Structure 1
C-alpha cells in the first residue's frame, strides 16, 4: 500500500500577536538586565522563531480570535489605568479632533492622540466596538502604534485576517516595545467602573450619531480619574 506523502510545510504568516506571546513568556525587561541589552535584536529573533516554528494543534481561527480578544482586553485595561489617562480624556473633551484643512493658512493644532487611543479603549471595554475602532483609526492615522495594534487585534477577533495584517504591518519595533511595556504594567483592573460605563452610555444616548459614540466630556474624565487615582 502506497502512502501519500505529506504536503510540504509552508510557514504560516507572522502576526503581531504571535510575537507578543513570545515577549510575554520571555519578558525583555528583568531585574538585573544589562543596560546594553539589544531589544531590537531580541525582537527580531522572536519574530524569526515565530515565523519558522511548526503550527501548533490549537492554532486555528477560533483559537486565534480567543487569544486576540484576551490580548485586546488586557491592552485596553492597562491603557485606561495609566496615571495621565484622565488628563488625556479631558484634553480631547475640550478640543475635539477635526479633519485637517490643507488649504487653511492656520492649520488646526493636532489632537491629543493618546487621548483618542485611550477613549477607544474605554469604548471597547464598555462594549462599543465600532466606536472604539473609529477612535483608534483616528489615533493610528496620527501614527499611534498601540492604537494600530488594537485595530490589528480587533480585526483578528472578527476573523478579518487581511485587515488585521494591514495594521500589523504598520507597527515599528518601537511600537511593539510600547505594547509590551503596557501589557506588563502592574495595575490592570477587571472592568471599567459602573460610573465610567454610565458616563459612556449617557454620551452614546445624547449624541447625534446612532452608530458611533461621539466626543467624550469632562464627566467621563472625572470618573476615569476616580479609577486611576482612588
Structure 2
C-alpha cells in the first residue's frame, strides 16, 4: 500500500490495483467462493458468511507482504479462515461438531419436516421419491460430520461444492495426492457407516461436470448402492455464486482498504516516541513452530536410536513417537499422524500434544479440542510414559469452551538438517494398506545411522 494519503473524495472502486497488487486479487478470486460457501454451510446464513469472508480477506491484505513470503500461503490462509469460522460459531454459542450448524442440513430438515410428520401419509404417494432423497441426504451429511475435519473439508470442497482435486489441494494448501488419499479414507469410512458399497476402482466424472436435477428432471427413484453414487448427489449451492458476487466482494474490500488507509495515515502522525502496534501471531503459526520444536527435540533425544530399534522389532509405542516426529520433519505428515495416533493410544501425552498442535496448525479446531480432552484424561491417569522433550500440558485451568491447552516447551534445541531427514525417509519401506494406503515403516539401517542423521 502507498504511504500517500488517500483522496477522501475519490472513487474507491475505480482501480483495484490502486489498493493491492494483482497477485492479491488473484488470491482473493481463488478462495472467495470456497470460503463463502464453506462458511455458509457452517453458519447457516449467506450474509453472515459474506461478512466473515470479507473481514478475513481484509486482514490478509494487511499482512500480504508477510503472507507472500511464506512457503505455503494457501495453507496459512485456509487455517486462518477455519479459525475464524470456529470463532464465529463459539460467539453464537454453537458447536461446529453438530449437524444443526450445517446450512444444507438445516435446509433439508426444513423442507422435509412437513412431509415427514403429519403430512407424510397423505403426500407419500406423490412425493415418495423426494422424501427418500431428502432422508438420504440428511443421513450422508450427518455421517460426514463424524469424520475428521480434514476428511470433512476434502469431501465438502471436492464433492459438496464441486471443486476438482487440483483446486481442492490449492485451496487447502496440500498436495493433490494428499487430497486423493484423504478422500479415499473418508469414502471408506462413510461406506462402512452407511452400509454402502466401496469401489476404489470406480471411475468418477469430475465434480464440475455434474448437474443438479431441476424440477423437470425425473426424480431419483432408488437409494444409492455405492458411496460414489451417494457423493455424486451431494452437490449444494450449484450455480448460485456468479462473477457479480466476486465483483461485489472486491469492491467492498477495496472500500474497506480505502478506509484503512486513512487509519494508517492518522497512525503515522502519532508522536515519534509511540511504538507501532504489532499484529499478534496467528494461533496456527505458533502451533506449527511449537510442533517443529517438539519434533526436533524428540529426534535429538539420547534414547531415540534405541527406541527406533525397538519400534522396528516389536512396534514399541515410544519408538512410534520418535518415528512420527522424524516423518513430520521430512514432510510426511500423513505417516506422522498415523504413528502419533498409535503412540497416543498407548498413553503417550507427548503424542497427544503433537496431534493437538498438528490440528491447530491446520485450523482443525474440533479435532484439536478432541486431543485437548485426551491430554486432560491422560494427565488424570498419571501413567508413566516416555517424554523425550520435557514439557507440561494442562487443560484443567482452561475456562473457555475452545480448544486450549496450556503447555510449556523448552527453547528450540539443536537444529537438524531436514534435507538429510528427507533423504533417510526416502529409503523407507511403505507397505500398502487396503484401508490406509501407504504407511511408512522403519528399516534397521535407520537406527544404525541415527547419530549421523542428527549430527548433520
Alpha-carbon distance in 2 for matches of 1:86, 1:182? 25
* Structure 1 pair 71–82 and aligned structure 2 pair: CA distance change class (3 A): same
Deviation at 1:148, TM superposition (A): 0.3
- 1:1-230 → structure 2 map (5 Å cutoff): 63-96=282-315, 112-171=316-375, 172=379, 178-180=390-392, 183-184=409-410, 187-192=413-418, 194=420, 196-203=421-428, 206-209=429-432, 211-228=437-454
* Structure 1 pair 170–183 and aligned structure 2 pair: CA distance change class (3 A): same
Which protein has the bigger helix share? Answer: 2
* Structure 1 pair 78–163 and aligned structure 2 pair: CA distance change class (3 A): same
Structure 1 segments unaligned to the other structure (5+ residues): 1-9, 11-56, 97-111
Alpha-carbon distance in 1 for matches of 2:309, 2:366? 35
1:171-229 superposed Cα distances (whole Å, 9 cap, x missing partner): 127689942499327843244461x32221121xx422284442201111123232457
Give the total of aligned pairs.
156
Using CA pairs below 8 Å that are at least 6 residues apart, which structure has the higher relative contact order? 1
Structure 2 segments unaligned to the other structure (5+ residues): 1-90, 92-277, 393-406
Asked if the contact 1:199/1:219 (under 8 Å) is kept, the reply is: no
Aligned Cα root-mean-square deviation (Å): 3.2
Structure 1 counterpart of 2:233 = none
Give 1 or 2 for the bigger CA radius of gyration.
Answer: 2
Alpha-carbon distance in 2 for matches of 1:157, 1:229? 28
* Structure 1 pair 80–130 and aligned structure 2 pair: CA distance change class (3 A): same
1:96-134 superposed Cα distances (whole Å, 9 cap, x missing partner): 3xxxxxxxxxxxxxxx22111010000000001111000
Q: TM-score, normalised by structure 2?
A: 0.31
Alpha-carbon distance in 2 for matches of 1:178, 1:197? 26
SS in 2 for 1:80: helix
Q: TM-score, normalised by structure 1?
A: 0.59
Asked if the contact 1:69/1:157 (under 8 Å) is kept, the reply is: yes
Asked if the contact 1:119/1:132 (under 8 Å) is kept, the reply is: yes
